Amino acid sequence: MTKTDITYMKRALALARKGIGRTAPNPAVGCVIAKDGKIIGEGWHKKAGGHHAEVHALEMAGNAAKGADVYVTLEPCCHTGKTPPCSDALIKAGVSRVVVAMRDPNPQVNGGGLRTLEQAGIKTVCGVMETEARAVNRGFIKQVTTGMPFVTYKCAMTLDGKIATVTGESRWISCEDSRKYVHRMRAHSDAVMVGVDTLIADNPQLTVRHVRGRNPLRIIVDTHLRTPLSVGILSGQMAKKTIIATTEANPRIHRRYLQSGASVLVCRQINAKVDLHDLWEQLGTLGIQSVLLEGGSRLAGDALKQGLI
């Protein structure tokens, strides 16, 4: 590993960060191709099903990729999914060296991509800025290795440790800058989650505003299906990006929510509430890698007690 390796890997990581919150169930990956001290190609994975970062970079580099060094934030894939293996594309391009930040924890890869490259005579280096690369893909890593998403709890509190007034009427106890940061967190998350009590009290939009980014899925934890059909998140096209998690298994009750465009997840019950561990596993099965929990004290408290945050 050289200073040059670190310089180019920093650029690859910057590219990878552009994909955070956009690529699930795939990881966010950045790639840089360098030759004779210059970057000749770069790219990042923009969305699941689209070209991987290595392919974008190879397209930019063209024939100049032959004999070049490649810097990629995650081990190149060696299996065929919606797109062909990136390891094969790198071999075909004739690159001479591939520097990787971290191995892919996906069992379908997990060292296989590096072995494929080495067997083709390409030099490999692994572990350059691995800590930073793992931070970029913490949701992907958690989902692939445990089957559950990486969950971040967001709350604002006063100096005496309160998140609202006694009456619950306070709307904001945070500043404008912190609220803008929350919207950035939403844009970087696959889903945002609240409990039904928060939904009824605040009727939140749970969308991304103030910053650029796509709206995440909205997850409502509602044990007994008390979600009013009049709430904003069940109106218009955004209802299609809403999931209601409940223990109520009656399909007739589900129908009114399904007709609005929302989805319903039936979860196990524990202590007369939605079993959050079961919900987390179901979200992982759906390919959801990262969740921003914005619920109130009861939902957040249950998740914290169960070690799910």
Per-residue pLDDT reduced to its tens digit, 249-258: 999 999 999 9
**Residue whose C-alpha is closest to residue 15's, from 39, 45, 36:** 45
The confidence score (pLDDT) of residue 233 equals 93
Q: What is the mean pLDDT of residues 164-180?
A: 60
Q: Let me know if residue 142 belongs to a domain.
A: no
109 and 177 assigned to the same domain = no
120 and 182 assigned to the same domain = no
What does the pLDDT look like over 261-299, one tens digit per residue? 999 999 999 999 999 999 999 999 999 999 999 978 899
49 and 99 assigned to the same domain = yes
Asked whether the predicted pLDDT for residue 235 surpasses 60, the reply is: yes
The confidence score (pLDDT) of residue 236 equals 84
Rounded Cα distance between 99 and 133, Å, is: 13
- Considering 137, 169, 190, which residue would you say is the last residue of a domain? 137
125 and 202 assigned to the same domain = no
What does the pLDDT look like over 115-153, one tens digit per residue? 999 999 999 999 999 999 999 999 999 999 999 999 999
Q: What is the mean pLDDT of residues 185-194?
A: 96
Q: In total, how many domains does the chain have?
A: 2
The confidence score (pLDDT) of residue 133 equals 98
Q: What is the mean pLDDT of residues 27-35?
A: 98
DSSP string, 99-119: EESS---STTTTTHHHHHHHH
The confidence score (pLDDT) of residue 112 equals 94
Are 176 and 275 spatial neighbours (Cβ–Cβ below 8 Å)?
A: no
Q: Let me know if residue 98 belongs to a domain.
A: yes
Q: Let me know if residue 12 belongs to a domain.
A: yes
The confidence score (pLDDT) of residue 213 equals 85
Q: What is the pTM of this model?
A: 0.87
Domain that holds residue 278: 147-305
The confidence score (pLDDT) of residue 178 equals 74
131 and 258 assigned to the same domain = no
The confidence score (pLDDT) of residue 168 equals 54
Q: Let me know if residue 278 belongs to a domain.
A: yes
116 and 183 assigned to the same domain = no
Q: Let me know if residue 185 belongs to a domain.
A: yes
What does the pLDDT look like over 34-63, one tens digit per residue? 999 999 999 999 998 899 999 999 999 999
- Considering 137, 161, 196, which residue would you say is the last residue of a domain? 137
Rounded Cα distance between 188 and 211, Å, is: 11
130 and 152 assigned to the same domain = no
The confidence score (pLDDT) of residue 238 equals 81
- Considering 137, 171, 193, which residue would you say is the last residue of a domain? 137
Are 118 and 142 spatial neighbours (Cβ–Cβ below 8 Å)?
A: no
The band of 169, judged by pLDDT with boundaries at 50, 70 and 90, is: low
For residue 299, what is the domain's CATH number?
Answer: 3.40.430.10
186 and 63 assigned to the same domain = no
Rounded Cα distance between 210 and 184, Å, is: 8
Residue 255 CA: distances (Å) to CA of 105, 145, 251, 267 = 39, 35, 6, 17
For residue 38, what is the domain's CATH number?
Answer: 3.40.140.10
The band of 303, judged by pLDDT with boundaries at 50, 70 and 90, is: very high
The confidence score (pLDDT) of residue 308 equals 95
Are 87 and 72 spatial neighbours (Cβ–Cβ below 8 Å)?
A: no
Asked whether the predicted pLDDT for residue 185 surpasses 80, the reply is: yes
300 and 158 assigned to the same domain = yes
Q: How much is the mean pLDDT over the chain?
A: 92
Asked whether the predicted pLDDT for residue 176 surpasses 90, the reply is: no
Asked whether the predicted pLDDT for residue 163 surpasses 70, the reply is: no
Catalytic residues: 54
162 and 296 assigned to the same domain = yes
Q: What is the mean pLDDT of residues 156-160?
A: 59
234 and 289 assigned to the same domain = yes
33 and 121 assigned to the same domain = yes
